[in-house]
Amino acid sequence: MAHHGGRLTKNAKRTLLVVEDNAINREILRAILESEGFNVLEAENGLEGLKLLEEHYEDTSLVLLDVYMPICDGFEFLKQKRADKRFDSVPVIVATASESRHDEITCLKLGANDFILKPYNVDIMMNRINNTVHLRESASIVNQLTWDKLTGLYSCEFFYRRVDNVFTTINDDTMFDIVCSDIVNFKSLNERYGRKNCDRLLKDLARRLCDVLPGYIAGGRISGDTFAFLIEHQRNRAWVRQLDNVSKGLMGTSLNVKFGVVECIDRSLSVSLSCDRAIIAVDGIKRTFGVDVAWYDDKIRQQQLAEQIIMESMELALEKHQFAVYFQPKHSLRLNRTCGAEALVRWIHPDLGYVHPNEFIPVFERSGFVVRLDLYVCEEVCHEIRRCQELGLPSVSISFNASQLDFDTPDFADQVAALADKYGVDRSLLHVELTETAYSDNPKRLIEALKELREHGFKVDLDDFGSGYSSLASLNMLPLDVMKIDMSIIRQASQLNDYRIVHSAIQMAQFLDLETVAEGAETLGEVEELKALGCDAIQGYYYSKPLTRDEFEKYLAT
Ligand code: C2E
Ligand code: MG
Ligand code: MG
């Protein structure tokens, strides 16, 4: 018999508690365990076992637990043990008589750490005991890290470990789901209600989730306001109906908890990846009112794959000039001629073909790559302004789109200026479009960045006005030159034949001394309405679609 104890340091005698009703079995176990250098405590049923645990939990390394015993059986023992936090540090190995999957799962749910089969095989038993003791001892060094103090759930790291542990222990095709919860806008709740109240909220929420998710096997706090639970897969998803009650009464009505679920977890993937997927699912519904649970499914997986392809090929794409810049003319209603253009990027991908900006810009925004793309487009624009000059074409301004991240880049204005100078471009011809994503938060930093651009002589256009969350309050704080009215407003006005909203947008722009450009006018009727309302310019299919460079130059020439 080789080194059962090899991994343990032998200097201190460890105590094992054997809970077993059969006296002969107890005697055999005692003999084996003592020969392996353990102290042995014996109990002949669960009740006695709990009594001994109460006295000795601080120096008991492990409980070896029989399932079927009179008076208080193994299940009851586990239940009561689990109810007492002090006993958490003592692991339990359950001895089951036959390979009973049902018993094993029940025990796992109740907190058992491992199983051995009766009759005892000494080698296997000692290995499992030593492994479990070893694991627990190394874990106890970081014991404080095991539990999240606030909620009593596992810490993130230990949740992953615990789930791994369950997967390796339950060796059949039992299926499991992971449920992650997330509080919408937790940060702002923190600000509004204070840290203390929000801590209590997290605690209450964790407790309610434990109550609502039936027989959850493990629960962990994955990050600030994100919890994860491992449950046995339920085809009927019955627990979903319970979720309505979870946030009732917590923090008034302002609490909104959403859930992401990964069903039938692929055990070959890491637990953290499965949790990530649940979180991806929940992120997808964060802004969707009335939908509180999302399942990670094939559609999301496809999206992720596509996103991965985009991420993997974007660097090379820039090098290989796969990003083509198109120019969509803007038509001045007052002068009745082309007065400018917007640069719009397209990706001609060797495998994916033509990729629409709506598909890759958000990915680039998440990865930070958008800054490099935008500067690339900016350079193409400078180049084009220069070419028009050299070709003797009418001089028009050209705008390019800039995202939030551009404005967070400290020397963005300087980089734009360097490009303009490289091509000897009249700076007032270069417009920077502030896309909708850019003006949602951190107005201070944004205002700084816009000021800088204007000090350098560039113009700033507010893109997509009226499309979403653009706050009117921030409008007069932003240093701007042009307001671009979003296509959706024009479309709606045209359909309802009611231009009052367009009218007030134009009036507001005039009040703020901004030029107006209406996006997406497609018909003569729309153009005439806009002209009558005093709109300055139009960028829309009525005049032209986005054009390649050559087409644009021809368009300007006529
Ligand atoms: P955007 O800046 O609001 O651009 C206007 C969009 O409206 C363009 O779509 C344009 O083709 C489309 N459009 C213009 N007139 C009409 C019309 O009459 N009817 C219809 N149905 N559509 C019209 P596109 O080119 O697909 O661009 C979509 C968005 O992608 C842009 O919206 C912009 O936010 C973003 N984007 C494009 N290029 C860049 C870029 O270089 N950098 C960044 N950060 N974003 C970009
Ligand atoms: Mg734009
Ligand atoms: Mg726009």
State mean pLDDT over 66-94. Answer: 90
Question: What confidence score (pLDDT) does residue 7 get?
Answer: 37
DSSP string across 179-242: EEEEETTHHHHHHHH-HHHHHHHHHHHHHHHHHHSTT-SEEEEEETTEEEEEEE--TT-GGGGG
Residue 162 shares a structural domain with residue 124: no
Last residue of a domain, one of 228, 263, 296: 296
**Which one, of 175, 172, 158, lies nearest residue 228 by Cα?**
158
- Burial of residue 229 (number of CB atoms within 10 Å: 0-12, 13-18, 19+): buried
Does residue 257 lie in a domain region? yes
Please, which residues have CB less than 5 A from ligand 3, an ion?
Answer: 463-464, 519
Residue 387 shares a structural domain with residue 534: yes
Question: What confidence score (pLDDT) does residue 442 get?
Answer: 64
Domain with 85 in it: 3-145
**Pair of tokens at residue 33:** 């365990």
CA distance linking residue 156 with residue 79, whole number of Å: 24
Residue 223 shares a structural domain with residue 253: yes
DSSP string across 293-330: EEE--HHHHHHHHHHHHHHHHHHHHHHTT-EEEEEEEE
CA distances from 465 to 435, 461, 472, 504, 518 (A): 9, 10, 10, 12, 10
Does residue 301 lie in a domain region? no
Mutate to test the pocket of ligand 1, among 434, 519, 526, 545 (most ligand atoms within 8 A of CB): 519
Question: What confidence score (pLDDT) does residue 250 get?
Answer: 82
Residue 207 shares a structural domain with residue 140: no
In the chain, the amino acid numbered 510 is: Q
Last residue of a domain, one of 270, 296, 322: 296
Looking at the predicted structure, is the pLDDT value of residue 120 above 50? yes
Residue 471 shares a structural domain with residue 550: yes
CA distances from 329 to 517, 520, 540, 542 (A): 11, 11, 8, 10
State mean pLDDT over 67-80. Answer: 92
CA distances from 241 to 245, 253, 386 (A): 9, 19, 63
Question: What confidence score (pLDDT) does residue 473 get?
Answer: 60
Looking at the predicted structure, is the pLDDT value of residue 492 above 60? yes
Residue 428 shares a structural domain with residue 408: yes
Residue 454 shares a structural domain with residue 339: yes
Contact of 502 with 532, CB cutoff 8 Å: no
Does residue 319 lie in a domain region? yes
- Which of 4-18, 74-88, 143-157, 365-379 ranks highest by mean pLDDT? 365-379
Q: Is the peptide bond before 362 cis (omega within 30 degrees of 0)?
A: no
Looking at the predicted structure, is the pLDDT value of residue 144 above 60? no
In the chain, the amino acid numbered 174 is: T
- In ligand 1, the atom with minimum distance to the C-alpha of 323 is 41
What CATH number does the domain containing 125 carry? 3.40.50.2300
Helix, strand or coil, per DSSP, at residue 244:
helix
Last residue of a domain, one of 145, 175, 195: 145
Per the DSSP assignment, residues forming a β-bridge with 93 are 64, 114
Does residue 70 lie in a domain region? yes
For ligand 1, whether the C-beta of 494 sits within 6 Å is no
Contact of 239 with 255, CB cutoff 8 Å: no
What CATH number does the domain containing 243 carry? 3.30.70.270
Mutate to test the pocket of ligand 1, among 401, 430, 526, 539 (most ligand atoms within 8 A of CB): 401
pLDDT digits (tens, 9 = 90+) for 306-341: 888 899 999 999 999 999 999 999 999 999 999 999
- In ligand 1, the atom with minimum distance to the C-alpha of 541 is 18
Please state, rounded to an integer, the average pLDDT across all residues of the chain: 89
What CATH number does the domain containing 475 carry? 3.20.20.450
**Pair of tokens at residue 472:** 């009117």
- In ligand 1, the atom with minimum distance to the C-alpha of 326 is 25
Does residue 551 lie in a domain region? yes
pLDDT digits (tens, 9 = 90+) for 262-284: 998 888 889 999 999 999 999 88
pLDDT band at 98 (very low <50, low <70, confident <90, very high): low
290 CA distance to ligand 3 middle (Å): 28
For ligand 1, whether the C-beta of 463 sits within 6 Å is yes
- Burial of residue 13 (number of CB atoms within 10 Å: 0-12, 13-18, 19+): exposed
Residue 317 shares a structural domain with residue 274: no
Does residue 390 lie in a domain region? yes
CA distance linking residue 391 with residue 315, whole number of Å: 32
Does residue 210 lie in a domain region? yes
pTM of the model as a whole = 0.62
Residue 320 shares a structural domain with residue 292: no
Range in 23-32, 187-196, 356-365 the model is least confident about: 187-196
Residue 432 shares a structural domain with residue 510: yes
Residue 454 shares a structural domain with residue 331: yes
501 CA distance to ligand 2 middle (Å): 21
- In ligand 1, the atom with minimum distance to the C-alpha of 325 is 41
530 CA distance to ligand 1 middle (Å): 20
CA distance linking residue 325 with residue 215, whole number of Å: 56
For ligand 1, whether the C-beta of 519 sits within 6 Å is yes
Q: Estimate the crossing angle of helix 370-390 against helix 549-557, to 10 degrees.
A: 40
538 CA distance to ligand 1 middle (Å): 14
Range in 155-159, 256-260, 411-415, 421-425 the model is least confident about: 155-159
- Number of structural domains (the chain) is 3
CA distance linking residue 248 with residue 354, whole number of Å: 48
CA distances from 322 to 155, 316, 325, 357 (A): 45, 8, 10, 13
CA distance linking residue 137 with residue 14, whole number of Å: 11
Residue 346 shares a structural domain with residue 398: yes
